[in-house]
Amino acid sequence: MKETFFGAPQIPLEHLSMLEKAAPNLILWAAPVLFFFTGLEMFVAYKQDKPYYDKQETIGSVLVGLGSLVIGASIKFALIYGTVWLYNQLPWRMSLNWWTFIPCYILFDLASYWAHRISHEQRFWWATHVVHHSGEHYNLSVSFRLSWIQNLKTIFFLPVALLGFHPVIFFTTNQIAVLFQFWVHTEYIRRLPKWIEFIFATPSNHRVHHGSQPKYIDKNFGATFIFWDRIFGTYQPEEEPPVYGITTNINQKANPLMINFHEVADIISDVKKASGWRRKLFFIFGSPVKIAQEKQQLLDGEVTVRGKHETLSTVS
């Protein structure tokens, strides 16, 4: 019987090992190349005396990246199993055709935009992403800073999987999307031709996203295509040089556990101190920016009160 494009045959679950081989781990294969270019950029920056790298931060980035590779390889089979099971439930399954990669990639990038945006707007999801923003220097090693709990965000990509793309296409799209984001984390590539800057998330566009100035915060979420930001009103061109880092930068810059879980620890601490479910939920799902502002105001208030007490004690 001739196979139709929609309603492709189910994938027997006992054939998952074969499918796993058919969906190669491109990120693992690419790792030596990524490390090579990172080392090259580091060497050039050192020779040119550019302040693009910090030793402790770089160690932290590499350790976080290695941990991400291990975790990704460990759960790959489980993710494939879940994706194949879902694929088998759909009556509109697409057969394996190379050209389906194109619509899959575009739709995947749209889902990535919203996953990325929500990760900045809700603290629970910010805890799965803050790792990537915790570096105070901008260089290729920043692309290694992928949270060890980022796979929680798989839920945002379910709509793409539900469209019936073949699992091999879906997983290849995911890996290429991740690899694309490597080259945008550099200071060495400045502005590109206007048409490229208009369509793609270039180094210039992405530097804005990592900036901590008010005008740069929560801008340019696009992973591959920047036109999503233009459509949804979150685009900001690069103007003054970005200041990198997060609101409260971490001290243990080489500690991968601190880099990955400091925000989770802060959430737990804030929830324990909060009174009432409304306040507790605010500290879990509220805007990270608003939470940071509130905590800073409280801290400033404590400093002011403490300062008054010190002044009164001195006068007396």
* pLDDT value of position 60: 97
Where is pLDDT greater, at 19 or 73? 73
* pLDDT value of position 313: 42
* pLDDT band at 73; cut points 50, 70, 90: confident
The H-assigned helical ranges of 122-253 are 123-126, 130-133, 158-161, 167-180, 194-199, 203-210, 227-232
Contact 178, 171 (CB under 8 A): no
Across the chain, mean pLDDT equals 91
**Residue ranges of domains in the chain:** 13-232
Q: Given a cut of 50, is residue 316 above it in pLDDT?
A: no
Token output for 96: 């394996």
Average pLDDT over residues 77-98: 92
Average pLDDT over residues 280-306: 83
Lowest mean pLDDT segment, chosen from 205-214, 266-275, 305-314? 305-314
Contact 258, 265 (CB under 8 A): no
The H-assigned helical ranges of 202-287 are 203-210, 227-232, 256-273, 277-285
* pLDDT value of position 249: 87
* pLDDT value of position 307: 54
Location of structure tokens 């929830």:
271
Average pLDDT over residues 172-195: 96
Task: Give residue-wise pLDDT tens across range 238-283.
Answer: 999 999 998 888 999 999 999 999 999 999 999 999 999 999 999 9
Contact 140, 41 (CB under 8 A): yes
* pLDDT value of position 19: 72
Task: Give residue-wise pLDDT tens across range 113-168.
Answer: 999 999 999 999 999 999 999 999 999 999 999 999 999 999 999 999 999 999 99
Contact 129, 110 (CB under 8 A): no
* pLDDT band at 21; cut points 50, 70, 90: low
Nearest to 137 by CA among 221, 38, 223: 38
Contact 3, 9 (CB under 8 A): yes
Average pLDDT over residues 17-35: 80
* pLDDT band at 293; cut points 50, 70, 90: confident
Average pLDDT over residues 91-96: 93
Average pLDDT over residues 214-223: 96
| Rounded Cα gap, residues 250 and 135, in angstroms | 9
Token output for 83: 């994706």
* pLDDT value of position 152: 95
* pLDDT value of position 306: 55
Nearest to 292 by CA among 215, 217, 208: 217
